[in-house]
A = this chain, B = another copy of it.
Amino acid sequence: MNPASNNKIVKRYKIEAKTGYGFRVEKGQRLRIVDLEGEQVADLVCFARHDPHEYLSSGRSINYAEKIYLSGGDVLYSNRSNPMLTIETDQVGRHDFLFAPCSQKMFAIVYDIHEPHPNCLENLTQSLKPFGISEDQIPIPFNVFMNAQVSEDGRINILPPLSKAGDYIEFRAEMDLMVAVSACSALRCNNFSWGPIGIEIRENEQR
């Protein structure tokens, strides 16, 4: 279940609370996202290195998984129906794939907050700018550790993440990727406090 977990770490990075980070991942490498202090959501988006018009697609991934909560063994697909990331290890088991990244306008509409507020859309945009990707290209993220519970009638209840300090999810990259991750600064989905997110990239020993 966890074949790559002891492989050599080629990159380790701490995303401070309410900020984002953009980086490259090679095909076959493992990407681990760690909730360092617990109950912290991490918005993840990715793009094909060969062409940023190929991007993470919630709609394709949900279609092929035939479920809305993806976990160990499930595959995150691109808009062109190619596998981008496979979830190899999931210590938490609950993530969201429905919500757009929080944004300045979201804080105004949902929370009536009108002064500037750190937000995932801006974090992801800034993190992806060096790769030539613009705000409008940012797709619906895989919202790691976000616990949006959908009831039988379709209503959504945003609950605290199930992740405790040190819990992680680990993906295998199925193609060369540009990735951005944001330590989410929304209120309810992080149980009204904000922490950092750890990033670890492990080499694929079979390469």
Query: Interface residues, chain A, CB within 8 Å of chain B?
Result: 53-55, 57-60, 62-64, 66-69, 79-81, 98-101, 103, 105-106, 109-110, 134, 136, 138, 140, 150-156
Q: With the chains together, A59 CA to B58 CA distance in Å?
A: 9
What residues of chain B lie closer than 8 Å to A134, measured between beta carbons?
53
Q: For A68, give its contact among B54, B63, B79, B154 (CB under 8 Å).
A: B154
Whether A106 contacts B81 in the complex (CB less than 8 A), given A58-B59, A154-B150, comes out as yes
In the complex, 6 of the A-B residue pairs with CB atoms within 8 angstroms, ordered by the A residue number, are A58-B140, A60-B100, A62-B99, A67-B153, A69-B154, A81-B109
Q: For A67, give its contact among B58, B79, B156 (CB under 8 Å).
A: B156
What residues of chain B lie closer than 8 Å to A57, measured between beta carbons?
100, 140
What residues of chain B lie closer than 8 Å to A54, measured between beta carbons?
136
Q: With the chains together, A59 CA to B101 CA distance in Å?
A: 8
Find out whether the CB atom of A68 lies under 8 angstroms from the CB atom of B156: yes
What residues of chain B lie closer than 8 Å to A69, measured between beta carbons?
153-154
What residues of chain B lie closer than 8 Å to A80, measured between beta carbons?
105, 136
Whether A100 contacts B150 in the complex (CB less than 8 A), given A66-B155, A155-B66, A156-B68, comes out as no
Find out whether the CB atom of B154 lies under 8 angstroms from the CB atom of A151: no
What residues of chain B lie closer than 8 Å to A79, measured between beta carbons?
100, 136, 138
What residues of chain B lie closer than 8 Å to A60, measured between beta carbons?
100, 106
Q: For A59, give its contact among B53, B55, B66, B140 (CB under 8 Å).
A: B140
